[in-house]
Chains A and B, each alone.
Chain A
């Protein structure tokens, strides 16, 4: 069934698919400032995740915690190809997307610590990073659940631009999923709707080769050629290298620009590898150290660093200084989270309903967006009533 081929740069290609061809004809090297920002953002995500793992061991972070180490180029390269007004939605391995989209390390870490200064006041946790000012629509915990939401976000921007404002669709929604979500019905329903309704949504499969402990070939038909999944839904598809941020950016820029111009969905097989386990409790017995080391040899941060050094965009000393700075920022996020108060008990009943009634006092925005009260636009319930 599968046709094992090996990407020449990596000995162990867990995807066993064809090497990612370039979908982009136009491959301009971004300005030095942009490259430096990407380098910084990728290092911040990694250092942030290192701190997360430590905080989890220290029992400062509870529940499930899925770290993004190894996949940094995907979030950074994809977000670089988006406009700020474009919606983004993702699954539970979401810290990297949140940081790449502009959430502060402090709000992200405080959320994981279950503190009031977290992006969701400590009510969401690791899997639910929401950032309205940066058009980040979560962080969703059920595998594949975010894919119909992604179709809906694209439906809404198109409806707003075309039906309500009489213009032309101008926004694209980026909907991330893991390769494990390929086998959820929700994705297939979302792709069918996106194809039928010409929705400008890009489904980016962060194909790291494993859904938890199950390799893609044990769980997914046509795992070596995921583009085939999109064909049946009349959708354009691309394979993009998610281990090299330049390749990621060029590929995604082409895809996103096309989705915007034609108001059509795209499907992207984004090849990448997660260095750590599925979650903090995963001993990774289902794969070899050799495989891991082979992928780590093609590390996305190292690849970008070499590119910048070779071109004189950055000196070795500057790179060290940047690393020092992001380490300090990651450490600062931990100190901030640790110092942030736990949510008051009154928060248990806030944000259940927009409208205040009975035991529910209504809703407010979190502190990082200003903390303003959410004023209901309409009162459905008589405030004087005795209701349960």
Chain B
């Protein structure tokens, strides 16, 4: 029987990195404030003490430089973990992370892989304004050659990050500042990993499939609780990874419920949500009672004002409205 403890999301991330660093000396962590400051968000707290400054490496504010450095190191056989304090800051490293890491294996005809993990906070942190609130999955998931994981709970955070570190391909790992303090049950054990490409059914239901990932999983569960009181029974599917995307689990669910709402915290135009909706339409054309409804952030830059930001983001109310519309209960 596996022992289970309650951990914060950030502790689960740290445990994943520390276990993998004990297991494999090729693994190291670099980023801004990861070492002596103990991590801007305390994810790497205590790791400098255990692993030393050669493996827990503070970098200057130089994302393009240190992301590129990590890619070169991965080509030479190491396994870097790059922490972006925020994925919003990865935009200045767009060339290395999008033009080098995911294309190196292809451009070199199979000679050089890039086993690197880029991780950090994604999405609105809380009144951080337009430049600091990026949901990069909207743009980055468009690029072949990378894998992308977006955990919603501490157990998945640990299991998916361990998988990401062991993966031979580059992995974009998207966390949320708003969830780092979230607590959850996490099993003990160094070999408990969560595979990529396997959705997790967070709630079983019969009337409507809500497909989502990351932070909006919690909004969807909140919405499902509210809708249950109205007699609408929702199934909530947490995709967990965007590349690969477990379309099979969504399709099986939609064939049962006949309606589907996709919730995605990135902008709607050309997004993972639009791709998922297109796939559901294709695979469930004869099963659907209604078109796939979608809930995204508003199609505007992220606002600062508290009330505007709340209205900008997906939330339980918007999901409830979408489910009611999709199930003709509006």
Chain A residues near B (Cβ < 8 Å): 87, 89, 118-124, 128, 130-132, 137-140, 142, 145, 147-157, 159-160, 162-164, 185-186, 189-190, 192-193, 196-197, 350-355, 357-358, 363-366, 369, 374, 376-382, 385-388
Instruction: Tell me whether A387 and B72 are in contact in the complex, defined as CB-CB below 8 angstroms, given that A137-B112, A142-B95, A190-B65 are known contacts.
Output: no
Q: How far is the CA of A151 from the CA of B171 in the complex (A)?
A: 21
A145→B95 contact, CB < 8 A? yes
Q: How far is the CA of A388 from the CA of B105 in the complex (A)?
A: 20
- Some 25 contacts from A to B, beta carbons below 8 A apart, are A118-B109, A120-B108, A138-B108, A140-B100, A142-B95, A142-B99, A149-B71, A156-B74, A163-B25, A186-B64, A186-B96, A197-B57, A352-B105, A352-B106, A353-B145, A354-B169, A355-B168, A365-B109, A366-B109, A366-B110, A377-B166, A380-B166, A385-B246, A385-B248, A388-B275
Count of chain A to chain B residue pairs whose CB atoms are closer than 8 Å in the complex: 216
With an 8 A cutoff between CB atoms, is B229 at the interface? no
Q: What is the distance, in angstroms, from B170's C-beta to the closest C-beta of chain A? A: 9
B247→A378 contact, CB < 8 A? no
B72→A388 contact, CB < 8 A? no
Instruction: Tell me whether A185 and B64 are in contact in the complex, defined as CB-CB below 8 angstroms, given that A358-B244, A386-B248 are known contacts.
Output: yes
Q: What is the distance, in angstroms, from B156's C-beta to the closest C-beta of chain A? A: 14
Q: How far is the CA of A382 from the CA of B248 in the complex (A)?
A: 13
Q: How far is the CA of A196 from the CA of B58 in the complex (A)?
A: 11
With an 8 A cutoff between CB atoms, is B154 at the interface? no
> Which 3 pairs show the lowest CB-CB distances between chains A and B?
A152-B72, A148-B68, A189-B65
B26→A152 contact, CB < 8 A? no
A153→B76 contact, CB < 8 A? yes
Q: How far is the CA of A156 from the CA of B112 in the complex (A)?
A: 14
Instruction: Kindly supply a per-residue 1/0 record for chain B positions 22-46, scoring 1 wherever the CB is within 8 Å of any chain A CB and 0 otherwise.
Output: 0001101000000000000000000
With an 8 A cutoff between CB atoms, is B218 at the interface? no
A386→B167 contact, CB < 8 A? no
A159→B247 contact, CB < 8 A? no
Q: Chain B residues near A132: list those with CB within 8 A.
A: 108, 111-112
Q: How far is the CA of A196 from the CA of B111 in the complex (A)?
A: 30
A365→B111 contact, CB < 8 A? yes
B72→A123 contact, CB < 8 A? no
Q: How far is the CA of A155 from the CA of B25 in the complex (A)?
A: 14
Neighbour of B54 across the interface among A131, A137, A148, A162, CB < 8 A: A162
A124→B109 contact, CB < 8 A? yes
Q: How far is the CA of A122 from the CA of B76 in the complex (A)?
A: 23
B59, closest chain A residue (CB) = A193
Neighbour of B110 across the interface among A137, A163, A374, CB < 8 A: A374
B110→A364 contact, CB < 8 A? yes
